[in-house]
């Protein structure tokens, strides 16, 4: 029962006392006064029922019990300090670890090549799993099914953290001449493809058109930007998508981007993760790598790292 009252500080003090065999030197190592260390030794004697150190002339000698436990005690203290001291270093060149990233398909298509190249170059033992966005994003992050999420949505849950890693503007994507100026009436007259993983056909753009007495015809709702662009290329349709992402994704010479005839706020690529991973060195490395890759692939300088809501 007495042993249950021993804390790590007391075990550390015993380890130092046995190593130094001097109350004064042990006090200096632990940044304590000599009277405080003497009181600690007295407490250790009470707890163990053993003198621990016995004065012999000017020296202090360990008892047989102290000699018996010294090596085991030192190993125990070292192990305890290791457990209670989270690692601060992350060697990407030697680590073997799998990270799971939930990613909006538009963003994934724009940065996957650059991000993969960075991982292969700096961390050959790291494996990246890309998952599509799901309807249970918070639970996926909270329960560890995903290490991070990259999308245009800012998390609202208080236990999630967020970092803006890139920015882009929305543009009209079509097969028209790039120099063509698109008016509001032109925009409404086109047959549209809407990108929505949930199958939605209406959004903020339609609200803007309503204020001008206009409506557009949505002939296709596509779950991914890649599908939407194929429809634009082959079906004489138009879509609205992030300009930089389309530039990265679309290699077809017929694809062109046009300035929208109305104002829309810029969109952002937002990296989010659960708060329990804030201080994990490997996860911090991943967040920085994603931010660098997103800024290079999509554009816009990353915000200061790890901005919590």
The beta-carbon contacts of 17-23 under 8 Å, at least 24 apart in sequence, are: 17/41, 17/44, 17/52, 17/53, 18/52, 18/53, 18/62, 18/66, 18/70, 18/73, 18/74, 19/74, 21/53, 21/59, 21/60, 21/61, 21/62, 22/60, 23/53, 23/60
Q: Please say if the pLDDT value at position 278 is more than 80.
A: yes
Average of pLDDT values for 107-116? 87
Helices and strands, counts by H and E, the chain = 11, 12
**Predicted pLDDT of residue 198:** 80
Q: Which of 17-31, 84-98, 159-173, 182-196 shows the lowest mean pLDDT across its residues? A: 84-98
Kindly report the average pLDDT of the chain as a whole number.
87
Q: In what order do the strands lie in the sheet with 97-103?
A: 126-132, 97-103, 148-151, 267-274, 160-168
Band the pLDDT of 252: cuts 50, 70, 90: low
pTM assigned to the model: 0.68
Question: pLDDT per residue over 19-35, tens digit each?
Answer: 999 999 999 999 999 99
Question: What CATH number does the domain located at 2-84 have?
Answer: 1.10.10.10
Question: Nearest Cα to 137, choosing from 121, 152, 148?
Answer: 148
Where is pLDDT greater, at 194 or 197?
194
Average of pLDDT values for 165-178? 90
Question: Nearest Cα to 153, choosing from 175, 173, 138, 169?
Answer: 138
**Predicted pLDDT of residue 272:** 94
Q: Which of 13-27, 83-97, 140-154, 185-199 shows the lowest mean pLDDT across its residues? A: 83-97
**Predicted pLDDT of residue 94:** 92
**Predicted pLDDT of residue 8:** 83
Q: Please say if the pLDDT value at position 4 is more than 70.
A: no
**Predicted pLDDT of residue 3:** 47
**Predicted pLDDT of residue 248:** 67
Range 170-258 has CATH code 3.40.190.10: yes
Average of pLDDT values for 47-63? 91
Question: Nearest Cα to 174, choosing from 222, 231, 223?
Answer: 231
Residue in the structure block whose two tokens are 């990296």: 271
Three-class DSSP category at 33: coil
Residues spanned by CATH 3.40.190.10 within the chain?
97-166+269-297, 170-258
Question: What CATH number does the domain located at 97-166+269-297 have?
Answer: 3.40.190.10
Where is pLDDT greater, at 88 or 249?
88
Q: Please say if the pLDDT value at position 1 is more than 70.
A: no
Enumerate the H helices of 167-270 as residue ranges: 184-189, 204-211, 225-235, 243-249
Question: Which stretches does DSSP call E strand in 45-184?
Answer: 53-56, 59-62, 97-103, 126-132, 148-151, 160-168, 170-174
Where is pLDDT greater, at 110 or 169?
169
Residues spanned by CATH 1.10.10.10 within the chain?
2-84
């Amino acid at each position: 029962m007495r042993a249950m009252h021993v804390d790590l500080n007391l075990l550390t003090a015993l380890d130092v006392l046995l190593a130094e065999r001097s109350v004064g030197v042990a006090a200096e190592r632990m940044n304590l006064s000599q009277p405080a260390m003497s009181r600690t030794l007295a407490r250790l004697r009470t707890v163990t029922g053993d003198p621990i150190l016995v004065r012999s002339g000017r020296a202090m000698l360990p008892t047989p019990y102290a000699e018996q436990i010294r090596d085991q005690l030192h190993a125990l203290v070292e192990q305890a300090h290791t457990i209670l001291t989270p690692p601060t270093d992350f060697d990407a060149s030697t680590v073997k670890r799998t990270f799971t990233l939930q990613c909006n398909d538009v963003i994934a298509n724009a940065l996957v090549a650059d991000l993969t190249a960075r991982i292969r170059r700096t961390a050959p033992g790291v494996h990246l799993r890309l998952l599509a966005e799901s309807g249970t994003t918070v639970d996926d992050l909270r329960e560890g099914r995903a290490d991070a999420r990259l999308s245009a949505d800012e998390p609202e849950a208080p236990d999630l953290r967020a970092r803006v890693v890139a920015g882009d503007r929305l543009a009209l994507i079509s097969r028209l001449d790039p120099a063509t100026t698109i008016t509001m009436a032109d925009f409404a007259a086109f047959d549209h493809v809407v990108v929505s993983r949930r199958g939605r056909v209406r959004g903020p753009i339609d609200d803007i058109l309503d204020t001008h007495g206009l409506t557009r015809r949505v002939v296709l709702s596509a779950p991914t930007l890649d599908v939407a662009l194929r429809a634009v290329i082959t079906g004489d349709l138009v879509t609205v998508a992030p300009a930089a992402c389309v530039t990265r994704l679309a290699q077809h010479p017929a694809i062109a981007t046009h300035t929208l005839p109305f104002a829309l706020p810029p969109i952002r690529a937002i990296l989010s993760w659960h708060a329990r991973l804030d201080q994990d060195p490997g996860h911090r490395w991943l967040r920085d790598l994603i931010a660098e890759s997103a800024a290079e692939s999509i554009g816009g300088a990353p915000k200061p790292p790890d901005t919590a809501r």
